[in-house]
Each structure stands twice: as C-alpha cells, then as structure tokens.
Structure 1
Amino acid sequence: MVNRQNAAHYNAPLVILTSLFFIWGFITCLNDILIPHLKAVFTLNYTQAMLIQFCFFAAYFVVSLPSGYLVEKIGYKNGIVAGLAIAGSGCLLFYPAAGLQAYPLFLTAFFVLASGITLLQVAANPYVTALGRPETASSRLTMTQAFNSLGTTLAPYFGALLILSTAVKSADELKLLNSEELSVYQAAQAAAVQNPYLLLATVLFLMAAVFAVLRLPEIQARAEILDAVGTDVNESAWHYPHLVLGALAIFVYVGGEVSIGSFMVNFLGEPQIAGLAEQEAGKYLSFYWGGAMVGRFAGAVVMRKIRPAHALAFNATMAVVLLTLAIMTSGALAMWSLLAVGLCNSILFPTIFSLAVSGLGRHTGQGSGILCAAIVGGAIVPLIQGMFADRLGLQPALFVPVLCYLYIAFYGLKFRGLVAE
C-alpha cells in the first residue's frame, strides 16, 4: 500500500487519473444520443435499438473478471494504457460501421468500446483508492466520480450538436429520394457519426501514449486485511464477504439508478404527476443526473469527516423515503421526490466500491473486476421494472428501485465498522 507519509505527493497523479473518469463518462453518455439517431437511420424498433445498451452493458459482465486478472498481472498503470487503447480501437470501428451502414458492426463497436472502458474502471477505481490515506479513499473516489458526472452532463449537448445536427429522414421520405440523393444523404449521416468518434479515438490514443510514459507511483498490495472483516488472507477475492455483498450492492445501485432515469420522462408525463410532454419532461431529467454531480462534489468534502458506511446507509435510506413519496403521492411532490433521488445517488457508487475493495490486498484487481462485472445490473433491473410497469403501472413499479436502495442501506449498516481503503 502507498506510504501514508507520501500521500501529499499523489495530487498530480490523482489529477491525471481524474481525466480518465471524465472521458469515459463523456463517451458512455453519448449512447443516449446515438440510440435515437441509429434507431431512425436503420428504422429500428425499440427492442432492436436497445441492443445498443445490451451490448454495452454486456461488456462489463464479460470483460470485468478477465480485466481484474489482467490488472493483477500487468499492474494498474499498464491496465489503464491497455484500456485506453482498446476503447480507442472501439471508437475507430464506428468509422466503417457508419460508412457501410452496418448495424451489427455498430453493436460490435459498442462492445469493444465498453470493453476498454471496463478495463479502465477495473484499473483506475482501486488505483484512486490506493493513492493516499485509507480513511479518505471514499472521498477521493467520490471526487473523481464527480468529474465522471461532469462528462455525462456535457456529452449530450456536444453529441446533439455534432451527431444530431443532420436531420434523419423517415422511411417514407427516403423512398422519395433518387439513388444520387440517397447516396448523399447516407454519406452525411455517416459523417455525423464518424467525425466525433474519430476525434474521440485520437484523444484516447494520445492519452494512452501519455500514460505509457508517465511515472506514476507503484501500488503494492497489503497482505493483511482489516479486523472489521474478520477473516484472514484468502486464496481468492470471492472469499471476502464484504466484497461479494458489495458486488450485489453495485448491481442493485446501477440497476436502480438506470431504472429511475430510464422511466423518468414517462413518469413525469403521467397525468397524476405532471402531465408533461416528452420534450419538456426531458429537460427535467437534467435535475436527476445533475443532482448526482453536485452531490459528488459536495460529498468529496463532507465524507472526509463522516464514516463512509454511515454516509452510504443515510443516503440509501433517504432514497427509499423519496421513492416512497413518489409512489404514494402525486403532483409536484411526487415529481420532485423522484428527481431528488439523483442527489442521494451521488456518493453511493464510489463509497460501495471503496468499502468493497478494502483489505483485499493482492486480490484487489480481481475484486475490482468482480465489482465492475456487477454493473450489468444496469441492463437487468430496468427490464424487471418494465415488466412490473406493464402489469401494475409506472408509479407502483417504483417499488423495484426501493428494494435496491433498501439493500444498499443494509450493506452500509452491516459493514459500518469497515474503513475504506
């Protein structure tokens, strides 16, 4: 582990690592722009369009565990370099996919891109927790996650400006075009995707080159774990209860967060809630995601004074209260209660992550891979909520994320004596 006396020397590496969190947040949020664009270009139904998210989240499940083993073999720094290179390669695949108008190739590009981002997360998240004093690990990871949220906030604006600048014609409109007009139209649509992703590929490869030559601190894993865990060093990360239960917490957290965001526009459109049109409701969605960003910047400071597990249990409990209000009430109270859950989400992911990898020692890389694999909850929980929404209605179906946050509160209380590392 990093020598605590040298913690002050890690400010520069932390600043550099923060750029990674920003860029992968930016890239991930561009999916929300590409989904409607590709749906229109390829005249897809909603199920076909959601294959984009399926392929993206599937990468976390498929690639995370191998990434954990890879990081243990080649180190955190080399893992970051490899992740940047793979993500850059995924961005390059968007060029032929757009040029050939091949939706399967787009799906492949999403998987490769997400694989690189997964490796980045597996390497960078525990690296941030290790660069400094153990008691402020959650605070550091919360701050870097705040810049990830900044990326997700800025990406839609720039994505809409670049990718959605060319209007997509309907199937009936396309039939009216002659071959030459159709060729020009398809070329314009391809360029709208190609140019932004070529730029992103360039940025990612440049960052990989920079990280390759940077002299970053070497992180040595401790052999012992904290007394709060109550076990000795094990042969695998799977033997640590706080890691296994933490992976489930990550699963339900990502699932709950994505579920709420996915159904927010429809929820605000319900007559008994706000009756907003989709375009107007979409504007309010920024309060949900923006709340997470503001909360993370504030949480990075506050959590230097509060035990991470206590903050985790408190925020999750408040999310349960707000969701219950959203289910049981109507009008403005229900609307703003659900939007305010974003603020509660702010510190959950970094706090769960830092607690879950605490004391794993030489198994930290594997543990990080397990936790990143659990992000697949973002693909599964929304489907479950959708099934209940079809049967019970949109508002009652919010009980699904309620269960998610109840478990997170339980995790925080169960490991309230654990010190993030």
Structure 2
Amino acid sequence: MTQVKKYSLAIGLITSLFFFWGFIHNLDPILIPHLRNAFSLSHFQASLVDSAVFIAYFLLAIPAGLIMQRFGYKAGIIVGLSLFAAGCFLFVPAANTVNYYFFLGALFVVACGLTILETAANPYMTVLGDPSKATQRLNFAQSFNGLAAFIAPLIGGKYILTEEPKSAEEIASWGEQAKQAYIQMETASVKGPYVILGLIILVVTIIFVFTKLPEIKEDEENASPGIFHAFRHTNVRWAVVAQFFYIGAQVCVLSFLVMFATDVAGIAPSEASTYAGIAGLAFMLGRFIGTFFMRYIAPTRLLFVYAVVCVVLTFFVIYAAGVITLYALIGIAFFMSIMFPTIFAVGVEGIGADTKPASSLIVMSIVGGAVLPPLLGQLSDSIGSFQLAYYVVMLCFIVVALFAWNNKESKVSQASGGH
C-alpha cells in the first residue's frame, strides 16, 4: 500500500500525458481534409501531414533516449512538453502566413515533442510500482489515449472543419484576392484550438517542473554502453519489428476508414465520419476492457488471441461486401487497441539498464506509420482494388501474432496473467 501511495501522484501525472498526445494525434484526421480543402491539395500533398509526424518519431527517438540516459525521465518529459507547446503555438504564424509547409513545420515540432514524451512516459510507467503489474499499468494509461481518440475528432470537427467547404474547381474560378481571403479564413480557424491546447500543455509543463517525481536509478556499473546495445535482448528485437508493423496497421485502419466507408461500403460521406467516431470509441473501449482481462489472462496470450481475431476480421474486410466490411474494420479497431502498450511492455521487460535505449528503439519503429500506409495505397492503385490491398494490414497482424507467440513465456506474461 505504501508503494501505491508513493507512486500514485507520478502515475496520475504520467497518465495525463497519454491523453494529451492521443488528443493531438487524433486531430490530424480532421486537419488533413481541412488543409486539403483550404490549399486545394492533391492526395499526396495532404498525406504529408502524417509524414511530418512519423518522420519525427524516427529522427528524434534516439536523441530522446540520450536525454533520458543523461538527465532522467523527468527531464525528458519536460523537454517533450516544451516542444509540444511550442509546436502548437507555431500554428499561429503558419496560419498568418497562409503557407501549407509552415503547417507541416509546426506539426513536425509538435511530433518531436511527442516522440520525446512517448520515449520517456512509456518505460517510466512500466517501472513505477509493482513490476508484475507493468503491462496492466501501461494498458490502463494507454486507455486514456483511446479516450482522446474518441473526443478529439468531435471537438476538431466542431471548431476546425468548415460546414460547407468549397470545391477545388470553385476556388480555382475565383480571383486571386478572393482566393487568398478564403484560404486566410480557413487557416485562421485552426489557430484557436491549437493555441488553447498549447496553453494547457504549458501549464502541465510548469506542474511537472515543480513536482518531485521518483527517479528510477540504474546501476551505473551495468549502465547500457549505447543505444543499439539493447538489441542484444531478443524481446527488444521482436518488439521493434512488431511495433513497426502494428503502427502501420493502425494508421492504415484508422486513417483510411472514411475513404473505405465511402468507396467500398457505399456509405455517404456525411455518415462516414460517424463511423470514424464509432471506431474511435471501439478503440477506447478495447483498451479499458483489455486492461480488465489482463487481470485473468496473461498479456501475451491475450495479445495473440486479439491478433488472430484481427487477421480473421481483415479477411472479411478483403472478401466481404457492403457495410459488413465497415463493421469488420470497427471490430479491428477494438481488438488492436491493446497492441501498442503490450508490445512495448514486453519489449522493455527485464532488461535493466537497457530500458531507456530500448524505449528509443521501439518508439523509432513507429515510422511504420509512414511506410506501410503508402504501400497499401500504391498496391490499391496498382491492382485496382482497395479491398485486396488490405493484405498489407493482414500481414501486419500476422507479425504481431508471431511476436505474442514468440514471447509467450516472458516474465511479464507469467507475472501478470494470474492477477
């Protein structure tokens, strides 16, 4: 009980971070169509929003690990929050200059902050308290990421999206002055939500600065000699691969859901966004329910079952017809919800001084979200079938199932399964 009280404040504060980065991530699906309409962008240009985010994870994960190795978890969190807030405030000059690439720059700064936050918060949560409860703790914290996935599109849709956006053809027919006035009006709507979020993150940063957090000390004699030294652990190598494919699957499923609903399931565009919200709700519920099941089922065993279910549901996505394919995608959103935190917890389990560098490597693998969705899109264009392209997603879940099977004897699995 004493240990619970000792870590309760830290766990509460760290859990709030999962909500905040989940919130900003899930504004992107709203931001993409909004900027695409405002600047009359091609699909490729609009997709650069996701690229700006996921490239930051690849570039900053190792520097984030070095910051934590040198200065500790708290310093990493404060640096991450500072960049997060700065990136939000950069949306103001981006909107004022009416330049799409400035928006991408602001998103990149935000994503740099998120990279450092995730590299710090995920492993920190696993070591705050009873090691046998690490996976449950991380899944519970990640559940608030799922809550943000449900709330952010609702708020973003209300305050950012235009009720009646103009078509690219209509905008092109206007004079230059009218065109610039329209773009200025559209981009200005982005400033308010991001400034408010930036101010909230600034307040959270100040709270972390003045709050004493328990720093987990590692044995200096056994300190990791370098970032890539963590690869000597089999579970780290597997986690890096599994996380690459899982994030690729997640982005494919959630980012393409509205397009899939209209093109394959025959849903009207006005209704398709509702299904996206339902998928976000399913993702959130999956996190909470999965965390509950882990009291009775070993995390890697549950992960294996969920991954197999996702493979079966993807089969329906590929070969079924009509709205059932959309229901299958929503089902995938539910069952894939526990994958990131469980893969992460198993990946850093029992590796001691290599925990921080391993965290960097696993966060780097989030770049799968920038690699696999374009692959699905390219495959769809090449074979002329959006559904058959979802074999990319099926492959991702098969890799996750192999990860779970290969790590079924891990200590995290054995320790958490009976509680």
Q: Same fold (TM over 0.5)?
A: yes
Indicate the residue corresponding to 1:398 in structure 2.
390
Q: CA deviation at 1:354?
A: 0.3
Q: Which has the higher mean CA deviation after the structures are superposed, 337-346 or 367-376?
A: 337-346
Separation in 1, partners of 2:292, 2:153: 28
Deviations along 1:295-328, one digit per CA (max 9) or x if unpaired, are 1111222212222111111111111111123323
| Residues 162 and 186 in structure 2, CA contact (< 8 A), matched pair in contact too | no
Q: CA deviation at 1:170?
A: 4.5
- The residue identity in structure 1 corresponding to 2:115 is T
Indicate the residue corresponding to 1:316 in structure 2.
307
| Residues 224 and 359 in structure 1, CA contact (< 8 A), matched pair in contact too | no
Q: CA deviation at 1:394?
A: 1.6
Indicate the residue corresponding to 1:380 in structure 2.
371
- The residue identity in structure 2 corresponding to 1:143 is F
Indicate the residue corresponding to 2:193 in structure 1.
196
Q: CA deviation at 1:223?
A: 8.5
Q: CA deviation at 1:348?
A: 0.7
- Compared with structure 1, are the counterparts of its residues 334 and 14 closer, same or farther at alpha carbon in structure 2 (3 Å cutoff)? same
Separation in 1, partners of 2:235, 2:107: 32
Separation in 2, partners of 1:32, 1:343: 18
Indicate the residue corresponding to 1:229 in structure 2.
none
Deviations along 1:320-339, one digit per CA (max 9) or x if unpaired, are 11112332333454332232
- The residue identity in structure 1 corresponding to 2:397 is Y
Separation in 1, partners of 2:376, 2:171: 36
Separation in 1, partners of 2:84, 2:176: 38
**Of 401, 404, 407, which aligns to 2:399?**
407
Deviations along 1:37-75, one digit per CA (max 9) or x if unpaired, are 111221211111111111111100111111111111111
Corresponding position: 1:111 with 2:104: no
Q: Runs of 5+ in structure 1 lacking a partner? A: 226-231
| Residues 87 and 117 in structure 1, CA contact (< 8 A), matched pair in contact too | yes
**Of 225, 244, 251, which aligns to 1:251?**
244
**Of 32, 36, 42, which aligns to 1:45?**
42
- Compared with structure 1, are the counterparts of its residues 257 and 182 closer, same or farther at alpha carbon in structure 2 (3 Å cutoff)? closer
**Of 252, 255, 270, which aligns to 1:262?**
255
Separation in 1, partners of 2:81, 2:87: 10
Trace 1:163-174 onto structure 2 (pairs within 5 A): 163-165=160-162, 168-170=165-167, 172-173=170-171
Corresponding position: 1:280 with 2:271: yes
Corresponding position: 1:337 with 2:334: no
What fraction of aligned residue pairs are identical, expressed as a percent? 36
Corresponding position: 1:362 with 2:353: yes
Match of 1:50, SS? Answer: helix
Deviations along 1:340-388, one digit per CA (max 9) or x if unpaired, are 1111112111000000011221221111111111111111111111122
- Equivalenced residue count is 409
- Compared with structure 1, are the counterparts of its residues 244 and 275 closer, same or farther at alpha carbon in structure 2 (3 Å cutoff)? same
Separation in 1, partners of 2:411, 2:111: 31
| Residues 7 and 131 in structure 1, CA contact (< 8 A), matched pair in contact too | no
Match of 1:20, SS? Answer: helix
| Residues 83 and 109 in structure 2, CA contact (< 8 A), matched pair in contact too | yes
Indicate the residue corresponding to 1:237 in structure 2.
230
Separation in 1, partners of 2:90, 2:379: 37
Deviations along 1:169-191, one digit per CA (max 9) or x if unpaired, are 45545754684x66764553343
Indicate the residue corresponding to 2:291 in structure 1.
300
- Compared with structure 1, are the counterparts of its residues 361 and 224 closer, same or farther at alpha carbon in structure 2 (3 Å cutoff)? farther
Separation in 2, partners of 1:133, 1:314: 26
Q: CA deviation at 1:201?
A: 1.3
Corresponding position: 1:352 with 2:324: no
Separation in 1, partners of 2:155, 2:172: 27
Deviations along 1:221-259, one digit per CA (max 9) or x if unpaired, are 36899xxxxxx9886112212101101100100101111
Separation in 1, partners of 2:262, 2:395: 24
Indicate the residue corresponding to 1:137 in structure 2.
134
- Compared with structure 1, are the counterparts of its residues 233 and 198 closer, same or farther at alpha carbon in structure 2 (3 Å cutoff)? closer
Separation in 2, partners of 1:197, 1:141: 27
- The residue identity in structure 1 corresponding to 2:108 is F
Q: CA deviation at 1:16?
A: 1.4
- The residue identity in structure 1 corresponding to 2:371 is I
Indicate the residue corresponding to 2:150 in structure 1.
153
Q: CA deviation at 1:7?
A: 3.7
Separation in 2, partners of 1:395, 1:198: 39
Indicate the residue corresponding to 1:66 in structure 2.
63
Match of 2:350, SS? Answer: coil
- The residue identity in structure 2 corresponding to 1:377 is G
Q: Runs of 5+ in structure 2 lacking a partner? A: none
- The residue identity in structure 1 corresponding to 2:285 is V
Match of 2:411, SS? Answer: coil
